[in-house]
Structure 1
Amino acid sequence: MQVGFVGLGAVGAKLAGTLARNGVDLTVFDLDPARMALLTSQGAKPGESAARMMRECDVVITSLPSPAASQAVLDQLLPEIHEGKIWIEMSTTDPEAIRAQAKAVQDRGGRAADCPVSGGCHRAATGNISIFAGCDRPTFEAVLPLLTYMGRRVLHTGDVGSASVLKVMTNYLATVHLVSLCEAMTTMAAQGMDLATTYEAIKASSGNSFVHETESQLILSGNRDVDFTLDLVLKDIGLFQALADAKQVPLELSPKLIEIVKDGQARYGDRAQSDRLIERLEEATGLSITAPGFPTELIDDEPEERGSEVFRTVSP
């Protein structure tokens, strides 16, 4: 199977690198030549354009920063799609948009799978990230071998669009956790609590979360480079708010969260690292939310291994 990969950003480069490392016949394309050079040094072949990659490959994977970017690339892919071609969209995108895009692919005889990832860039680098897959079952079984190179846990979520709905939700929750952790740790510092002890208390308690075990470490080290920027956070939580608005769900936390992220952008820049949200509270209180001994980068210490499909624990 010949595979093309378009979009070599923070996550895409790591997913593509995992495919190359595992011997997949891979061609890559990105508008940034330096990103392409990094992947070709890992064994991938350079692509000339998205359209040519779809013409020459059996599967083309996209991992792009916005629904608009995904549509622009799909417009290039569509003329080359016919029976036997598969498009895998791994961006975090608008669920309605991906449904319409998948139909356009299917109308030309191809197959489409909606496959966003979750778990952080450090797990994308080791092939241990989680993948949601929205598509019909035959398409899922066709793409599963590729997905299990890139991810440790692969969940078939239902039809196209279902994976993006769930991914938007998980990114919303991650942002809630991040903002609440900023408030919790700043309040503990104001109370005179040792922040290393605070970290362990949260980790050992019902207040723990994946975000705490990862991003709190970067906050406390002072590095705060989680490889995820505020513009992407705002896109994702905005998509979640749109899902709620479409069904008239009266959210209360979500609008405040959007306000906080926009304030962070106004202070630090649209593409500031998301963990810099802690600095809003540091500035307001004069406190330093740091502690010695915490890592300045996240490293996945789980050994890399081939992934597998995971199933619901409760049967319908």
Structure 2
Amino acid sequence: MRVGFVGLGNVGAKLAGSLSRNGFDLMVLDLDPAAVAPFVERGAVAAKDPRQMAEACDLVMTCLPSPVACAAVVEGPDGLLEGLGAGKIWAEMSTTDASEVARLAEKVHATGAAAVECPVSGGCHRADTGNISIFAGCDRETFERMLPILTTLGRRVLHTGDIGTASVLKVMTNYLATANLVTLCEALATSAAAGLDLGTTYEAIRISSGNSFVHETESQVILNGSRDISFTMDLVNKDIGLFQSIAESNGVPLEVSPLLNRIFQDGERRFGGRELSPNIIKRLEEATGLDIRASGFPSEMVDDEPEAPGYEVVPRHRARGA
């Protein structure tokens, strides 16, 4: 099987790297030639445009920064739709709008090809080692066809249902991660203001009911001062904005979500859209005059879990045959 991969950014390059490392026949495409070059050096073929990739590949995966960018690749001039056909698969790995991915999937289906949305969750460091989690929204037959690829790219793979379900779940999990990040910033700033040692504060949270995946990753790079989690404020605003839109369209009167949106919109206004997302703590550093850093923490996260074959996660009610 030849696999095409469009979008070699922070996450995409690591996912495509897993395919390359595991011996897949790979074709790549990105607007930045410098992102393409390392893959070509390792044996991948560079595509000139999405159409050429769709014509040459059995499976094309996209991992792009916005729904607009994805639409341009799929249905723009020389887009994927011009090269897709029966037997081929388009897999959207971006975090995107559920209605938009469903709209594009309908156009893909009209070519005779199959479509699947498979956003990832767990951080760039886990995408780099093939240990990230993947949500897959599609019909079961397409999921079965995709499973050998998805279990190469990720450790835990969940079939979420039809197209659109994975996108809703992905923005929901990103919303929860954002809420956790903001409360951790407040906890660290308050501890520093109260005169507590921040290294001790980190351990107190880690061994307590306050612990979380976000604490064990983002709190570390916050305290190091690098704040480098390979995710930016504009992407946070996109994701939590999508979650808020889902709630509004379904009549759910959220209270925390609008506040999180205001906090990160303010952060983007102050520091810029490409500012690293953990630097939302700078709002509190500026307000208090505190420097929220401590010694002994890494500048970036590295996944120390060995790469291993992935597997399908089966929800409990299905496992019991309900």
Give the TM bin, normalised by the shorter chain: over 0.9
Matched, 1:180 2:194: no
What is aligned with 1:209? 212
What is aligned with 1:244? 247
Equivalent-residue separation in structure 2 for 1:23 and 1:252 (angstroms): 48
Equivalent-residue separation in structure 2 for 1:269 and 1:93 (angstroms): 21
Select which of 221, 232, 236 maps to 1:233.
Answer: 236
What is aligned with 1:6? 6
Letter in 1 for 2:71: Q
Letter in 2 for 1:5: F
Contact 1:151 1:307 in 2 (8 A): yes
Query: Displacement, 1:46?
Result: 1.2
Equivalent-residue separation in structure 2 for 1:192 and 1:251 (angstroms): 35
Select which of 124, 148, 158 maps to 1:145.
Answer: 148
Select which of 122, 126, 144 maps to 1:123.
Answer: 126
Residues 153-212 of structure 1 show CA distances to partners (whole Å, capped at 9, x for unaligned) of: 111011111100100000001100000000011011111111111111111111111100
Contact 1:21 1:42 in 2 (8 A): no
Letter in 1 for 2:183: S
Select which of 292, 296, 303 maps to 2:295.
Answer: 292
Matched, 1:171 2:174: yes
SS at match of 2:294: coil
Residues 227-275 of structure 1 show CA distances to partners (whole Å, capped at 9, x for unaligned) of: 1000000000000000001011111111111111111111111110001
Matched, 1:70 2:70: yes
What is aligned with 2:19? 19
Letter in 1 for 2:5: F
Deviating above 4 A after TM superposition, structure 1's stretches of 4 or more consecutive aligned residues are none
What is aligned with 2:86? 83
Matched, 1:156 2:159: yes
Query: Displacement, 1:48?
Result: 1.3
What is aligned with 1:55? 55
Number of residue pairs matched by the alignment: 316
Equivalent-residue separation in structure 2 for 1:179 and 1:44 (angstroms): 40
Equivalent-residue separation in structure 2 for 1:198 and 1:212 (angstroms): 11
Q: Give the alignment's TM-score, normalised by structure 1.
A: 0.98
CA RMSD for the aligned pairs?
0.8
Query: Displacement, 1:43?
Result: 2.9
SS at match of 2:23: coil
Equivalent-residue separation in structure 2 for 1:230 and 1:39 (angstroms): 28
Letter in 2 for 1:21: R
What runs of 5+ residues in structure 2 fail to find an aligned partner?
A: none
